[in-house]
Structure formats: C-alpha cells, structure tokens
Structure 1
Amino acid sequence: MMPEQWLGGSMVFLLLVMFFNASGAFVGINIGTAVTDLPSAADVVAMLKANQITHVRLYDADGHMLNALAGTGVEVMVGVTNEEVLGIGESPSAAAAWVNKNVASYLPETNITAIAVGSEVLTSIPNAAPVLVRAMNYLHHALLASNLNFQVKVSSPQSMDMIPRPFPPSTATFNSTWNSTMYQFLQFLKNTGSFYMLNAYPYYGYTRGNGIFPIDYALFRPLSLTKQIVDPNTLFQYPSMFESMVDATYYSMGALNFSGIPIIVTESGWPWFGGANEPDATADNAQTYNNNLIRRVLNDLGPPSQPTIPIRTYVYELFNEDKRPGSISEKNWGLFFTNGTSVYPLSFGTSDRVVGNSSGVGVFCVAKPDADSSLLQSGLNWACGEGQANCSAIQEGQPCYEPNNLQSHASYAYNDYFHKMQSAGATCDFGRTAITTTVDPSHSSCVFMGSSGSNTSGLFTPPSAFGPTGLMGSSSMLQVPRIVFLIPAILAIIGF
C-alpha cells in the first residue's frame, strides 16, 4: 500500500479532481528533437516566452533544455525514453539514479511537474509491458525518497490503439490482451493521485475510418443540428472526435472499475503537409484543427461524461521533426519553423492574440526564398488576379516595383492578400510557396501592410483600377473551405 493511502482512496480522487478544477485547463506543447538545425535551448525558450506557452513536454530529460527553462515558471513534463524503460523497470537503483540526475538536480529552479514513462509502450514495444508499471513504481519510490512525490507525478502516455472500438464511447473498452497490465497501471495512478496520459489523434481516427465520420467532426467544425454524432446508449452528443476519444478512455477505465482518474492529453495535433496519398494533411486543416482544439480545451469543460474535469492538452508539436522515419506527414506536424516563424496562424490563448501571424501589426506573409519559380509565378498571378490583392504598388514606377524580381513582387502581393482576407479564412500558403515572418519587409517608401507604418485600407489604388496588369490569374491557387455533407448519426455509431 502506498504511503498516500492513509487519506483513503476516495479522498485521493476527490482531492485530485478538486486540484484539476481549481487550476483549470491549459494548452501545452510537445518539443521533439529529431530536427535538422534544431535551435539552441535558449532560443527555444525564447520562443515559448514570446508565444506565452506555459507548459511543455520533453520526450527526454535534456539538460540544456532543463537549464534554459530554469526560472521561467514553465511547467515541464520530462520523459523516460522507451529505450530506458526496461533498465529502470529492472532496477530500483537505476530509477533512483534517473530521478536524481534528471529531476531532483533541477528542482526547484526548473518547474518539473511530471514524468512520462516511455511513449505508447504497450502498443509500440509490447515486450516492455511486464516492466512498465514496475518502472513507474520504482520512479515513484525514488520521488518519495526525495520528498518530491506530491510535486512530480508519474504516468505513461497511451495510444488510442489501446481501445479497439472507441465509438460509441459508452461501450469502449481496453484491448483485453492488456487487461492485467492496465489494471495494475490504473491502480498505480489511483494510488499515487496521478493522471492518465492519452495520445489522441482525430487525424488518424478520420483517415483510418473509411469515410464513416465526416472531416468536420474531426476538425471541430459545427455539425448540422439534425445530424449530430450521438452515443445511442447515453444520448450524449459529441461535437468533435477529440471529445469522443477522451470519453472513450474514461469509459474504458470505468469498464475496469476505475473512476476519478483525470485524463491529460499528452499529444494531439494535425499534420500540415503530406504525400500524394495523404490528401487531408494540409495547412488549412492543421490550422483549423489546432485553433479549434485550443479554443475547446480552454473553455475549461470536460467531455460529456465528465463535464467538470478540464481536458488539459499538449499540442503535437513545436517543430517539424524532419528526421523522423515514416510517411511525409509524419515529419510535418510542427507549428513553427526553426527560424521562429509560424507555419500558419495560431492562437495559444483565450484572447484573439494570434501566434506568429495575424492580420494585425508586426506579422507578414512573404514568399519563401527557395520556392519554385513557376509555382511562385502562379501564386503571384492568382494573388493579383482572382485573389484581388492590391498589386498597384509593384507596377513599374510605383514604390514597391524595386527590387524588380519575382520573390519581392510575390511577397508584396501575398502579404496584401493575407492581411485583407485572413478574417475570411485565408492562410499564408499559396501552394506552399509562402511563409510568415515577424521581420518587416518594408523598405524605403515601400510599406507592407502589417507594418507599423501602414494603414488598414491600403496605400494605393484598388486593384480593379489596374486589373492583373498582364498577370495571368490561376484558379488553382484559390483557397476555398471544402463543404462536407454530414452523414446521419446512425452511420456514425458503427465504429471505426
């Protein structure tokens, strides 16, 4: 019996739920390191501060990052790598050494609050299953010995693959193959007042669902009032697949007679670029998903079955991990490029403040330096034609004609379109030839919209007075939200 049990099991549950409710929801971010030209730890922390990110998850316990995070107040989840799980699970002394090196030596300057033991261990390295809970116990005992057990909790992120049929949520159960391990796992979480770590990816739920669920459901888009996704047993309505996945996990724990264990979503996101066989991995979908995810999490409500328990969530992920093996989409989940610019507009808060790019002052949409010239020309043609950007300033004799090159002219046109049309859903993409930056490209008398020296109405004659001026418009660049016809709820309840 764990030392905390003098409180009584039900009291531990009550205190944990009260803690979750009192401290509210948050949105954090995962920081992977399989990245070419990974910024320094100091630069990464500067990005976190600039974007008001207060919670991070590291997949390891990198000393440079932990030192750089010292004094910031950022809550840090450190990770035991999958390769380390077996050794720690076989040796209490190895667990104690790991805690002393990677946790105790950084506290209290670095605000470490959790240890994630491996990642999706049961479904990715099944041979480690027999030692997973033992490793967690050994780490917890090491924290007890250092009097850190109340500040630092131990858990292990699990994949949704642990639940073969997650819909309807009310009938969801863990794969029976893992029943013995999951019972021990959940008993550990209950005894230590910890939380269930869940990796929830509606992207995979949708793409592997063979068309059963509409993409709007995966992206948090509104569903028709007559075509809601409903659990036929509870009559709970599920406005998003994300909430359904979280509830499926609560019900799966309940099927093993465990309750009162809150869920933290340790990974969720959407890839913004994929291969030819990955048509839903787009910047528009990623922007829609992650912005809606953040808004949903920060409303401080839980899923339908647990409305009082916030769904704390870590977005996957800070940078594209281009060194990761696998499909093209696997490498393109990042919210930021390594130069600090955002991949698409994103807000990390409840206010309208937008990270990296917005229609406000200080952010610009410009042509990528390495963009293919033919694609760049098509983007410029469309922006000045069908996109109705005000391209008068880049005509000969006008302030932004010089330098007279494709990248410069495209940058002006892209930025004008982006600032005028972002409120209508426009993104800084242009066939992946554009990028956002906080570096003001204005020069001399050429002022880009978004600069502190510009005005919101534009500086020059509306484009209708000039037309495309020799540029050939291309409808292939038009970014129009796709219309998805929703399916009846009866089809949605057959599982995926």
Structure 2
Amino acid sequence: MAACSSLLFRLLLVLLTFSDSTVQILGLGVGINYGQIANNLPSPSRVSYLLRSLNISRVKLYDADPNVLVAFSNTNVEFIIGLGNEYLQNMTDPIKAQNWVLQRVQPHLPQTKITCITVGNEVFKTNDHQLWSNLLPAMQTLYNTLVDLGLDKQVAVTTAHSLDILSVSFPPSAGVFRQDLGEYLHEILNFHAQIKSPFLINAYPYFAYKDNPNDVSLDYVLFQPNQGSVDQMTNLKYDNMLYAQVDAVYSAIKAMGHTDIEVRVSETGWPSRGDENEVGATPENAGLYNGNLLKRIEEKQGTPAKSNVPIDIYVFALFNENLKPGPVSERNYGLYYPNGTPVYNIGVQGYLPELVDPSASTKNGFSVFILLILVIAYIISS
C-alpha cells in the first residue's frame, strides 16, 4: 500500500505539472500601481491571473479602464481608480460628476471592489493655478455624488500629491507645506477630516539620492543596514528615508491643526535603468529597495512617529511602460517585463499565463483528463 501511495503521489505531481497548476503564491501586504502607458502589455485578464498568483489584493489604476475592472470582477481585489487632471474642471459640475460615476463606477459594483477614487494626480506639481483651484471643488462634487447614490461608505475620495508639496522635510518633526500651497492644502485637509479619507503622497527616496549621491547614503535610502539619523527634536531614530518622508508629511499636517488624518504612500519605487546622469538606477538597487520594502510591509511596520499604524504602501509599478515620456528611468520602474518575466529578483514569483491556441488548450485538457482516468484505474486495480 505504501508503494501504491508513493506511486500515486508521483503521478499526481506529473498531473499537476501537465496542467500548469504549480504556481508559487506568496502573500504580500502591499498594493501595486498598474500603469498602462505602453503598447506591449498583456491583457487585463492575464494580469488578473498574475496578481492573484502573487496574492496581491490591492491595485491602483490611473483611470477607470472598464476592461481592467471587468477582468478583475469577483476576484476580491480592491481597486483605487483615478480621474486624470484633465477631468477636474468637468468634475466641478454635479451633472457631469454624476454621469461619470454612473458610467464608470456604479456598473462595476459590487462585483469589482472599487474602494477609492483619486481625483487628479500631483496637481500641485503643475503650474496651472486654475487646476489648483478646481481640485477641492472636484473632490467635493464627486463625494456629494457618491453620497446621493449611496456609495460614499464603500468608495472614498482623495487625491495623490508629489512630495514637493513640502518646503521642509528634514528633520521629520520640522516638516511643513509650501507657503504658496497653504490655503489650498488647509481646505483639502479639512475635507479629508470631514469625510475620513486618507492623504496620499508619492514618495521616491530615489530622487533624493539621484540629485545628491555624495551627500545621501545609499544604504539609508535602500533600507540597508546603516547608522541612520536621529531627529533631535523628538529623539526618534530613522534608518530609512521613506519613513522619514512620511513622518515629515504627518508633521506638516499637524502644523495645520490635524492629527486625525492617515498618510498613505500611493507611489514609491526604484528604476532598474536610467540615463547616464541618473545615478543609482540599476537592477541591483531596484531589487534591494523593493525587496527590503516588502519585508518591512510584511512585518506591518509603522513609522517612528506612528509606530502603531502599519504603513500603507503602493509600489510603482507592475510593468515597465515603454511609451512613458521623459528620461529612461520613467520607462523602467516595473517589477515585471510585459512578458511576465521579473526584471529582478525580490523573492516573489508569480505566473502570467501564456497566450494559447484554444484548440491546443482543448487537447491538453483532454490529455489531462485521460491521465486522471488512468491514475484512478491504477488505484482501483491495486
């Protein structure tokens, strides 16, 4: 009987191999940015399989692509969807805001879990003061639309900011917002406090290192062992730049009178390639940054100033995007190449199903079925 069991085990392993079911699944408490500025990306249905094989259950989009939202229906993957800056003026109109929600959000609920809408992205990084003025009214109008439709309890409203909204970021306890943004951010913070939505920042220690490689410790930005730095005002020790940046934002928010708003990192990452002047953009550094970051997230770490609040992070990005404008680094932030191959090793392995001929798939399925019948027959005869 022992010999029969051993043989059965070997046969089942063969069966699993033939049916392409051996996928390593590692749980990750991390979100991922799914950018699509490329012409060579796999279909959303294949991406859905890849992310589920990685057990990633939180995705951030930059739009409300219905192809993606349909591909992830009934998967329990939570989505942040985006409204581009070009839509902000329209979103200040209640009728246009309602039409957008009715067309782009409501049809996908509840089968696709849309939990948040980002209204604009890094609006204050632009020099468009009209856009600055439209941001809060657009957020308010969209929120009021969700209330009217009974969706406000399941879908939050926020926006994502670049870290350069800070005029001071070090030491973290001295963090303050830029003076020219004061009137805008004060009202936005009041809005967040009122509706209990998070304050999102896109934080990239890579930029600080690239601009000052002689003064910024590479180990400090890569979460590698280092001496760290102590905030003399709080005596809190920081062993990495990202956590210091997050706490600087908390300090800036507190300076505006709020201690009731959660800061989340909507983007962070490291490029695997760059131009000659983009110091540090290598696969090795990208692997260290994202690999070490994932370990911190799995440990549910908080920042030194908010040690009891596990930091909520979305890594940028899922794929390299070959049509993104700008320096070489912009097209090389992905954890994966579009063919599903990892750009570098960060200790996780996912599975992107191949594009197959349906007739071949039928033949393979029939072969697996026959093998299964043979295994059952062998067991009965033994």
TM-score range, shorter chain: 0.7 to 0.9
Q: Deviating runs (4+, > 4 A) in structure 1?
A: none
**2:288–2:346: 8 Å Cα contact kept in structure 1?**
no
Q: Give the structure, 1 or 2, with the largest relative contact order (CA under 8 Å, sep 6 or more).
A: 2
TM-score by length of 1: 0.64
**1:114–1:153: 8 Å Cα contact kept in structure 2?**
yes
The one-letter amino acid paired with 2:349 is V
Distance 1:35 1:103 in 2: 24
Q: Which residue of 2 aligns with 1:122?
A: 124
Aligned-pair CA distance for 1:275? 1.5
* 97, 100, 105: which one aligns with 2:99: 97
Once structures 1 and 2 are overlaid, which stretch shifts more, 56-65 or 116-125? 116-125
Distance 1:190 1:246 in 2: 18
Structure 1, residues 47-75: CA drift from partner, whole Å, max 9, x if none? 11121111000000000000001000000
* 182, 187, 190: which one aligns with 2:190: 187
Give structure 2 stretches of 5+ with no counterpart. 1-27, 352-382
Q: Which residue of 2 aligns with 1:325?
A: 325
**1:316–1:333: 8 Å Cα contact kept in structure 2?**
yes
**Do the aligned partners of residues 330 and 293 (structure 1) sit closer, same or farther apart at CA in structure 2, a change above 3 Å counting?**
same
**Do the aligned partners of residues 84 and 172 (structure 1) sit closer, same or farther apart at CA in structure 2, a change above 3 Å counting?**
same
The one-letter amino acid paired with 2:160 is P
TM-score by length of 2: 0.82
Distance 2:331 2:167 in 1: 26
Structure 1, residues 294-319: CA drift from partner, whole Å, max 9, x if none? 11122223211111111111100011
Structure 1, residues 431-487: CA drift from partner, whole Å, max 9, x if none? xxxxxxxxxxxxxxxxxxxxxxxxxxxxxxxxxxxxxxxxxxxxxxxxxxxxxxxxx
Distance 1:199 1:174 in 2: 15
Q: Percent identity over the alignment?
A: 38
Q: Which residue of 1 aligns with 2:298?
A: 298
Distance 2:42 2:97 in 1: 30
Aligned-pair CA distance for 1:210? 5.3
Q: Which residue of 2 aligns with 1:235?
A: 235
Q: What SS class does the counterpart of residue 272 from structure 1 fall into?
A: coil
**1:337–1:343: 8 Å Cα contact kept in structure 2?**
yes
**Larger proportion of helix:** 2
Q: Which residue of 1 aligns with 2:270?
A: 270
Aligned pairs for 1:334-373 (under 5 A) are 334-347=334-347, 354-356=348-350
Aligned-pair CA distance for 1:121? 0.7
Q: Which residue of 2 aligns with 1:70?
A: 73
Aligned-pair CA distance for 1:328? 0.6
Q: Which residue of 2 aligns with 1:252?
A: 252
Q: What SS class does the counterpart of residue 188 from structure 2 fall into?
A: helix
Distance 2:235 2:215 in 1: 19
Q: Which residue of 1 aligns with 2:14?
A: none
**2:39–2:323: 8 Å Cα contact kept in structure 1?**
yes
**Residue 108 (1) aligns with residue 102 (2):** no
* 159, 172, 177: which one aligns with 2:162: 159
Aligned-pair CA distance for 1:276? 1.5
* 198, 208, 216: which one aligns with 2:219: 216
Distance 2:247 2:75 in 1: 34
RMSD: 1.4
Structure 1, residues 205-245: CA drift from partner, whole Å, max 9, x if none? 22223532201000000113xxx311111111001001001
Aligned-pair CA distance for 1:82? 1.2
**Do the aligned partners of residues 279 and 213 (structure 1) sit closer, same or farther apart at CA in structure 2, a change above 3 Å counting?**
closer
Q: What SS class does the counterpart of residue 237 from structure 1 fall into?
A: strand
**1:220–1:289: 8 Å Cα contact kept in structure 2?**
yes
Distance 2:54 2:344 in 1: 14
The one-letter amino acid paired with 2:115 is T
Q: What SS class does the counterpart of residue 154 from structure 1 fall into?
A: strand
The one-letter amino acid paired with 1:194 is S
Aligned pairs for 1:485-496 (under 5 A) are none
Number of positions where the alignment pairs a residue of Structure 1 with one of Structure 2 = 323
Give structure 1 stretches of 5+ with no counterpart. 1-24, 348-353, 358-496
Distance 1:182 1:126 in 2: 16
**1:35–1:319: 8 Å Cα contact kept in structure 2?**
no
